[in-house]
Amino acid sequence: MESLVEAADKVPAWSIGDVETRLVKKLELENFSRPLCDHLRCPSKSTLYRLFDRVDEYDVAILKEGKASADRRFKITKTGIPVTHILERVEIDHTPVDVFLVDDRTGLPCGRPTVTMLLDKFSRMPLGYSIGYDDASTLAVMRALKNAILPKKPCTSVMPGLTVNHHWRPYGRIGCLVCDNGSEFHSDSLKAACFDLGIRILYCPPRQPRFKGSIERFLKTFNYGFAHKLPGTSFAKFYQRGDYDPLKHAVFTVGEFTHALEKWILDIYAQSPHRMIGTTPWQKWCEGELNVELQLPPRAEDIAVNLGLETERRLGKSGIHLHYLYYSSDDLQPIIDTYGPGISVRVTYDPDDIGTIWVWTPDSSDRILVRANLYEYANGLRLSQHKLIRVALLEQQKNDCVLENLMQGRIELMESIDKLLSSRSVRTRRKAAKTLGVNGDRPTGNLHQLVSEQPSQPKVQRETVMPQAPKRFESRPRSSL
């Protein structure tokens, strides 16, 4: 048994042969101190197999997979944490979608997006989601949380003949948000947003997904019951593809995938009986609405403000310096008059649009909307795009505080993204889609804003040249006879 444990520690994919090798070495060392007549003989391999068969399956699993994995496999499943009403306990998690999506303009595959989903424990009804190429990030969590709390609008119908027959009813303030220990869930921005909205965050123990088993099971149903049936699916395992090439069969854009997803959630999943609740998630939610008053903040903009990314900055005479941009407004003057220059203030901003920020008044819940000094440049610009523009300007040794240079960098960024979207590499096209901020709410990202916010260029007069026909089709004058 000692040799078995050592083989499992040293060789992850151990076999009986590895155990036999270590046992032979141990017996050789032991026989050095024994007389020749008392030498120990190594059992045959068949004897080792018989001895191994006597070891408990749980102990074998510990040796092969580790104790945590063995506990998950052999632990008896019990009833989860009891909940009494809707929105009492909401679970959140991410999953890569097992489908390759294509770009709206080029039609080329851009890779697999990530879905962030929130599920109501009481009704098993999905509350909201976020689709995008931002991976598991704080931004994705904020988008999904905003979608879950606010009343839903019908998604844009982009596929003719595919009608969503049920309205997405769930909305309202969440009581407890259950999540894992990913860095995006431990961010200060999420903690501050949940504190402002009165949401309690509950973290599961590390590597214990059973504490939020409902969302884990739903995401598996989502991939196996929906994503794997779409053209362009990558399947969960590579060997399941066979001769199927997902890149050649990818046809869904982000907008079309969002449309199909809401159809599946509302008309198929929500209307199918759920074994754990004894009815459909739709019916269970409707029953729960009778006993709970759905709550929302007084103003819809409160959600957008509270769910922005948070930081702390000093307010000076020049305003607030954030991401190498200055933000100032006359409305900030009373704060300086009261507390003096250099006072630290709370700032929230939307990384999808750095044209404006929200500044919170010290010692109160009042907030002020402040524009960037270079608003013409920053309006509609994503934070990640601004960082790329600054890097390019610094490499060109240009001043990154001059509006003309920044606007020119914005144009060059758009041209660069166009080239990346047409690249032969899926990884490169995915990077371009991530830079544009492609998601379920904005299937083309902020490309239109990048184009519309360009400074007006003087029109260049060009001669109009009619296209010529190929030489082999050129007409020749007839020769006079």
Residue from 249, 214, 209 nearest 228 by CA: 249
Q: Are residues 165 and 211 in the same domain?
A: yes
**pLDDT score, position 403:** 86
Instruction: Flag whether 301 is in a domain.
Output: no
* Separation in Å, CA 264 to CA 12, 16, 272: 41, 49, 11
One-letter amino acid at 154 equals P
Q: Which of 218-222, 406-410, 455-459 has the lowest mean pLDDT?
A: 455-459
Q: Is residue 325 part of a domain?
A: yes
**Domain final residue, candidates 256, 289, 322:** 289
Together in a domain, 95 and 171: yes
- Name the residue with tokens 């997904």: 209
Helix (H, G, I), strand (E, B) or coil at 278: coil
**Do residues 141 and 255 share a domain?**
yes
Residue 481: band (very low, low, confident or very high) from pLDDT cuts 50, 70, 90: very low
Q: How many structural domains are present in the chain?
A: 4
CA-CA distance, 112 to 86, in Å (whole number)?
Answer: 32
CA nearest to 264, candidates 240, 213, 231, 230: 230
Let me know whether 154 and 104 are in one domain: yes
| pLDDT, tens digit, 9 for 90 and up, residues 181-223 | 999 999 999 998 898 888 999 999 887 877 888 999 999 999 9
- The torsion angles phi and psi of 66, rounded to 5 degrees, stand at 105, 160
* Residue 80 domain-assigned (yes or no): no
Which range (208-222, 241-255, 386-400) has the least confidence?
A: 241-255
Is the pLDDT confidence value at 382 over 50?
A: yes
Q: How far is CA 285 from CA 120, 271, 289, 291, in A?
A: 9, 11, 6, 10
Segment 163-182 shows an average pLDDT of 92
Residue 125 belongs to domain with CATH number:
3.30.420.10
Asked if the model's pLDDT at residue 111 lies above 80, the reply is: yes
- Residue 333 domain-assigned? yes
Q: What is the pLDDT of residue 171?
A: 93
Q: Distance between CA 7 and CA 12 in Å, rounded?
A: 8
Is residue 479 assigned to a domain? no
Residue 68: inside a domain, yes or no? yes
Q: How many CB atoms lie within 10 A of CB 114?
A: 18
Domain that holds residue 444: 383-452
- The DSSP symbol for 265 reads I
Whether residue 167 is contained in a domain is answered as yes
Q: Distance of alpha carbon 338 from its chain centroid, rounded?
A: 42
